[in-house]
Chain A
């Protein structure tokens, strides 16, 4: 080996007069590998296209809505232009009122004034009817517009309406992300804390994190002994038990969650049994559902297999001789377990934990059905912005923050446990 290496260092290898140095060798290797790489690429191409068009592009487009909003600026181009130079404190000029009137005429004619009104209403609540009622009598409007508009509706003189319009007129805006973390974007571009009673998102994020942590913790506590049992029983029995673990996995989430409603509601099975055994009396049944407790119980049950499976596969890979060795060296069962067995299952706990936590943090159906008011999570809030208030931009910003939080935890996990230590099976 060394003789050959020395030789080539002294006089470089040549084939047909071409000197084969490292670069040339690399080139030849790439050329030789190109065909097989290209064919391998063709094999994954359909999946790649599918993912790009059905997953990456829609998500990117949706996440962009968290910082991009043209619903005001595209429909009210004139006033947007004039608002740009306004300092947001001085009284609006006649030119600005004229631009507003011109824009209102257009949006009123093509019946998009409702959307404009909704957009400004988000910035300055209570301004919706101002737009819609002005829209209805837009034909009677004439110069000078300032006087005319203020005469029609005194509120047009309110500077907060104009500030709201200025904020809404931003196409690229940090406003939604600010709102997602309980901050408020002002018309002059400064950012303040949201007023006390409207600070709801941080609280909701913290609650989501708390519920996810608790669910993960419960899953470890409940899943560890099951996984241990599965890994130590004879294959025949453990396969049967594994099916029992997986069975709920194959059942629809909706069915399982609804089953919990039947179990936990005040006239449900659990409360009936508690009354029957005299733990509580009929008048004071426990409220086990439509609160945080209900969310915790149902989510722990549903996410348990995500914890059991990685733990099981890790435990399966630990030969029984380790425990035997520990005992032969003088360790009691207790010491052998904690010093020798448990440390080797950490990759499984890590993998199961991060899996359960990340799935839990974005959980939606179960808290929606059994969570009630105090058991709902951030995803339920995102959903309500998607379907009820139709504030997709805020929904996108909330989703973006959620993604960021998950990535932070992922990074933390990598720093503390190490992602290489994760073992999913």
Chain B
């Protein structure tokens, strides 16, 4: 993590709209200068509320938000100098693209020539140099999106907020825009706080991801850490595909533990987020870490499984198997020559390493 001062700090921030339910519960979060931080979570998890509090459109019920070490709870939105990209772009329909871009410069009383050169620079940045005289309605969704990004950046803010900006685009365009925004971030070095409910978007773009659920940050980590080292059952389930097995902790030894399923079968796992012996635990296991027909003795966990379903996906074959009393266990088998073809109804042995299986909270 960079050693420089955080650009944004949330300190014990709470938010309630109706005085009964806390939408955001005790948020503590630092955003480092220059990073791309994504707030990821299901709808209603409080991520957009956090963004709105940072932008100044919603007051925090309790706690303090700092921008450049300055408390900003009482600073109105237009004095915060934060660029923002909205979900439906919010491009002003009665102004041309160039007028939209010039708007933040105009209210900052910039000279006409300065405005023009900045607007042209921003339009070139998003490859829309010739579209200055068009109205937003005459642009495609992707072009409108780019104008919205350019408008949020044209006045050189330190911080740009993006509220599900790609939600309205189709899949191909969304992926293309993800890279474009990522490159703009890398080239400009601006700090971005990004809100989305799409995990692949978050994994593609971010330096760090804060996973929100139920008004609480469940885990704040880099994309690879989040995927490979989830710290609780929610994160494991929410990010990527995940196999769940449930049981009771019967032995803990440092970072290792043994969890016994209801059938009395012991599973060797990593003790990540478990309490004491006898506590319930959810085991998390990525489908691609499961090995088909392992050499006996090469992995500690080996079980018999019946193949229930096979789905051909080109580069790999997704197979659903019945194992340890569950019938939703997924195994991803790479489509390579050394893997024998499985048939529906076959009974195969599957196994996995102790370090690939993480024992988490119940």
A contact residues vs B (CB 8 Å cutoff): 319, 321-322, 324-333, 335-336, 339-340, 343-344
Contacts and interface: CB of A to CB of B under 8 A. Distances in A.
B88 A330 contact: no
B90 A325 contact: yes
16 contacts: A319-B90, A322-B92, A324-B77, A324-B84, A324-B86, A325-B84, A325-B86, A326-B103, A328-B82, A328-B161, A329-B104, A329-B107, A329-B152, A331-B78, A332-B107, A333-B78
B78 A321 contact: no
Nearest to B160: A328
A331 B90 CA distance: 14
A344 B94 CA distance: 7
A324 B57 contact: yes
Given A329-B155, A330-B155, A335-B107, A321 B81 contact: no
B79 to A, nearest CB: 8
A321 B155 contact: no
Interface in B78-98: 78, 80-84, 86-88, 90-94
B151 A329 contact: yes
A324 B90 contact: yes
Interface residues of B, number: 27
A321 B55 CA distance: 12
Max count, chain A CB within 10 A of own CB: residue among B94, B155, B161: B94
B322 to A, nearest CB: 49
Interface in B13-64: 55-57
Contacts of B80: 328
Nearest to A335: B107
A321 B107 CA distance: 18
Which of A319, A327, A328, A333 has the most chain B CB within a 10 Å cutoff? A328
B55 A328 contact: yes
A322 B148 CA distance: 12
A333 B83 CA distance: 17
Contact of B87 (A321, A329, A344): A321
Contacts of A336: 78
B88 A328 contact: no
A91 B58 CA distance: 93
B87 A327 contact: no
B92 A328 contact: no
Given A340-B92, A344-B93, A331 B86 contact: no
A394 B103 CA distance: 57
B107 A331 contact: yes
B108 interface: yes
Nearest to A323: B90
Interface string B107-137: 1100000000000000000000000000000
A328 B107 contact: no
Contacts of A322: 90, 92
A329 B103 contact: yes
Nearest to B55: A328
A128 B287 CA distance: 110
Contacts of A319: 88, 90
B138 to A, nearest CB: 16
A398 B49 CA distance: 63
Nearest to A331: B107
7 nearest interchain CB pairs? Answer: A329-B104, A325-B90, A328-B84, A321-B90, A327-B77, A343-B94, A327-B78
Nearest to B84: A328
Contacts of A327: 56-57, 76-78
Given A321-B87, A321-B88, A322-B90, A330 B55 contact: no
Given A321-B90, A325-B92, A329-B83, 12 more contacts: A319-B90, A324-B90, A326-B92, A326-B103, A327-B76, A328-B82, A328-B84, A329-B104, A330-B107, A331-B107, A339-B103, A343-B94
B108 A330 contact: yes
Interface in B128-164: 151-152, 155, 161
Contacts of B107: 329-332, 335
Contacts of B152: 328-329
A319 B92 CA distance: 11
Contact of B86 (A321, A330, A335): A321
Contacts of B76: 327
Contacts of B155: 329-330
Contacts of A343: 94
A371 B104 CA distance: 51
A319 to B, nearest CB: 7
A326 B55 CA distance: 12
Interface string B237-278: 000000000000000000000000000000000000000000
Contacts of B93: 344
Given A339-B103, A344-B94, A328 B87 contact: no
A304 to B, nearest CB: 26
A39 to B, nearest CB: 37
Nearest to B80: A328
A325 B107 CA distance: 13
Contacts of B81: 330
A231 to B, nearest CB: 17
B78 A330 contact: yes
Contacts of B103: 326, 329, 331, 339
A107 to B, nearest CB: 68
A328 B94 contact: no
Interface string B324-347: 000000000000000000000000
Contact of B78 (A332, A339, A340, A344): A332
A204 to B, nearest CB: 40
Contacts of B91: 325
Question: Which of B87, B90, B93 has most chain A Cβ within 10 Å?
Answer: B90
A409 B103 CA distance: 35
A335 B106 CA distance: 11
Contacts of B78: 327-333, 336
A331 B82 CA distance: 12
Contacts of B94: 343-344
Contacts of A321: 86-88, 90
Nearest to A341: B92
A329 to B, nearest CB: 4
Contacts of A340: 92
Which of B57, B77, B80, B91 has the largest count of A CB atoms less than 10 A from its CB? B77
Nearest to B104: A329
A120 B56 CA distance: 80
A71 B197 CA distance: 82
A235 B144 CA distance: 30
A15 B76 CA distance: 71
A324 B57 CA distance: 7
A336 B78 CA distance: 10
B331 to A, nearest CB: 44
A322 B88 CA distance: 10
Nearest to B93: A344
B148 to A, nearest CB: 9
Nearest to A332: B78
A7 to B, nearest CB: 30
A281 B107 CA distance: 52
B184 to A, nearest CB: 18
A155 to B, nearest CB: 70
